[in-house]
Chains A and B, each alone.
Chain A
Amino acid sequence: MKPFTYSRPASVEEAAKAAAATQGARFIAGGTNLLDLMKLQIETPSHLIDVNHLGLDRIEKTEEGGLRIGALVRNTDLAADKAVRRDYAVLSRALLAGASGQLRNKATTGGNLLQRTRCPYFYDTRMPCNKRQPGSGCGAMKGISRSLAILGTSDACIAQHPSDMAVALRLLDASVETVGADGGRRAIPIADFHTLPGATPHVETALKPGELITAVTLPRPLGGTHVYRKVRDRASYAFALVSVAAIFGGDGKARFAFGGIAAKPWRVAEADAAASRGARAVAEAALAGATPTAQNAFKQQLTAQTLASIYRQKEA
């Protein structure tokens, strides 16, 4: 790791202010992704601001009947929370499908949203990567692209978003609460939180310099049957090739979000609208505009078959 200094601010306002005022500063929460990247010198912060002790680790009801999840709530605790298990089971299921027990004990809600792609070219500092080093090119497009995105990609980047949790949050229409360097607070709809790569794949979220995630809020529970189906190369502890989050209502209506196949947690209104016409119609709507490589074209069929499997299970 490159040398850095370390501080523990006393408040979220102090943390955001320090982050904006210090060149090269980064927040650290669980650290499971950031430290991994620092060891590889993909991330080289000059200063770490430890946000573990700011009281952001509570889960509470909102006035609207939803849930406010502190940014520092660990993935294990969020998945095990009684209200989440009962009312937002798709979120519990998505969290439990990700990482290992050890990592979930450390990884946080805010940090999970900010985790970076596992594209092998992003991770290999000898390779070109527009996300890691803007303007250096993309090694993946003509390289090993089996795991990478088929939706939301650009000429500059085909990296996939790795999070399971974020797919469930996208399905649930979550909102990301932040505090800015000027102390101002705002809420960013999850749909707008992650940005598409376009010509600037190194920009991954709508966060401004110094802006700190303080909580994620969920609207009132939707009811229905919650499903999170993750397809991967081994039974546990692997990133998704394809994942599907779904909530089926009793009225033939359903909503879907997808992971492993896109540059950000993927949701398409047309896919939800196709719910009553069956898995094939949902897959066609969800995959509209896909730009696969020869190596990851299989993800289209895998998505359709995963949806078919979910429908079969629902009807059984």
Chain B
Amino acid sequence: MNAVSFTVNGREVHLQLDPRTTLLDALREHLHLTGTKKGCDHGQCGACTVMVEGRRINSCLTLAVMHDGESVTTVEGLGTPEKLHPMQRAFITHDGYQCGYCTPGQICSAVAVLEEIEAGIPSHATEDLDHVAFSDAEVRERMSGNICRCAAYPNIIAAIRECAGEKQA
């Protein structure tokens, strides 16, 4: 067993973990933060997306022990039912889901996508690498690591578009 300490949604936690424990399993099974979902468990579906040190990653493809001393934000840390994150509200407004299983990962990813565009990080859809700007094509490309088997994609893009507009306003 290895001692691991990190900050999750602003709260410091201390755990004793088998080194095999993924960050995803540490969040769900040890900290009971079940908002983050296990889909494929192989980094292909994006349901497990969380932010670590402010960057979105697949929590299923990283070990909890590798994140000792770091800061993790899950969907529970973005907003609460009483005080929704603007992206959570936009997903509700635009019905950006059907079954909802991929939604926490979609929302974490979407929040990070807008920050990445704002930071000028280019994508495969960026025509001029030095001019990064919001567009539906950018969102589709950047969200390609989040699969929605109900295919709520048009409404997910509508939600992200609204949120991006609010951010710019």
Partner of A31, one of B55, B63, B109, B129: B63
Q: How many residue pairs at the A-B interface have CB separations less than 8 Å?
A: 100
A1 and B65 alpha carbons, distance in the complex (Å): 15
Query: Any chain A CB within 8 A of the CB of B116?
Result: yes
CB contact under 8 A between A97 and B124, given known A85-B130, A102-B49: yes
A-B contact pairs, 29 of them (CB 8 A): A4-B19, A4-B20, A5-B19, A6-B2, A6-B63, A30-B62, A31-B62, A36-B42, A36-B43, A50-B65, A79-B122, A80-B120, A96-B122, A96-B123, A97-B124, A99-B145, A100-B46, A100-B145, A100-B146, A101-B109, A102-B56, A102-B57, A102-B58, A105-B55, A105-B57, A106-B61, A106-B62, A235-B140, A235-B141
**Which among A39, A96, A105 has the greatest number of chain B C-beta atoms within 10 A?**
A105
| Any B CB within 8 A of the CB of A236 | yes
A residues within 8 A CB of B162?
none
Shortest beta-carbon distance from B73 to chain A in Å = 14
Structural contact, A32 and B61, CB atoms closer than 8 A: yes
Which of B18, B124, B146 lies in contact with A96, CB distance below 8 A? B124
Option from A52, A96, A101 in Cβ contact (under 8 Å) with B145: A101
B111 on the A face (CB < 8 A):
no
Separation of A103 and B63 alpha carbons in the complex (Å): 14
Given contacts A39-B41, A100-B146, A101-B56, 18 further A-B contacts (CB under 8 A): A3-B20, A4-B20, A30-B62, A32-B43, A36-B61, A39-B42, A50-B66, A79-B121, A85-B129, A92-B122, A97-B124, A99-B145, A100-B46, A100-B145, A105-B57, A106-B61, A235-B140, A236-B124
- Tell me whether A35 is interfacial, beta carbon within 8 Å: yes
Q: Which residue of B lies closest to A236 (CB)?
A: B144
Which residue of chain A has the shortest Cβ distance to B119 in the bound complex? A80
Within residues 47 to 92 of chain A, which ones have a CB less than 8 A from any CB in chain B?
A: 48, 50, 52, 76, 79-80, 85-86, 89, 92
- Say how far A239's CB is from chain B's closest CB, in angstroms: 12
Q: Is the CB of A100 within 8 A of B144?
A: yes
Given contacts A6-B2, A36-B42, A39-B42, contact A105 B56 (CB under 8 A): yes
The interface residues of chain B lying within 8 Å CB-to-CB of A235 are 140-141, 144
**Residue A298, interface by CB 8 Å:** no
Write out the residue numbers on chain B whose beta carbons fall within 8 Å of the beta carbon of A39. 41-42
Which B residues are in CB contact (< 8 Å) with A3?
18, 20
Interface residues of A (CB under 8 A from B): 1, 3-6, 28, 30-32, 35-36, 39, 48, 50, 52, 76, 79-80, 85-86, 89, 92-93, 96-97, 99-103, 105-106, 235-237
**A103 in contact with B145 (CB, 8 Å):** yes
User: What residues on B are CB-neighbors of A97 within 8 Å?
Assistant: 124
**B103 interface residue per 8 A CB criterion:** no
The residue of chain B having its C-beta at the shortest distance from the C-beta of A2 within the complex is B20
B56 cross-chain contacts in A, Cβ below 8 A: 101-102, 105
| Residues of chain A lying within 8 A (CB to CB) of residue B58 | 32, 102-103, 106
A101 touches B66 (CB 8 A): no
Rounded to whole angstroms, the CA-CA distance of A255 and B76 in the bound complex is: 50
Q: Mark B96-114, 1 if CB is under 8 A from A, else 0.
A: 0000000000000100110
Q: Given A3-B20, A48-B19, answer yes or no on A237-B145 (Cβ-Cβ < 8 Å).
A: yes
Shortest beta-carbon distance from A160 to chain B in Å? 19
In the assembled complex, B37 has its CB within 8 A of some CB on chain A: no
Measured in the bound complex, the distance between the Cα atoms of B142 and A103 in whole Å is 11
CA distance in complex: A76, B53 (Å): 14
Q: Does B74 contact A (CB under 8 A)?
A: no
Q: Which residue on chain B has the smallest CB distance to residue A92?
A: B129
Distance between A124 CB and nearest chain B CB, rounded to angstroms: 14
Which residues from chain A contact B144 at a C-beta distance below 8 Å? 100-101, 235-237
Which A residues touch B120, using CB under 8 A? 80
* B20, B46, B146 — most chain A CB neighbours (10 Å): B20
Closest 5 CB pairs of A and B: A100-B145, A236-B144, A237-B144, A6-B19, A96-B124
Give A86 to B116 CA distance when docked, in angstroms: 19
| B22 interface residue per 8 A CB criterion | yes
Q: How far is the CA of A264 from the CA of B145 in the complex (A)?
A: 26
- Mark B40-75 against chain A: 1 for CB-CB distance below 8 A, else 0: 011100100100000111100111011000000000
A30 to B141, CA, bound (A): 22
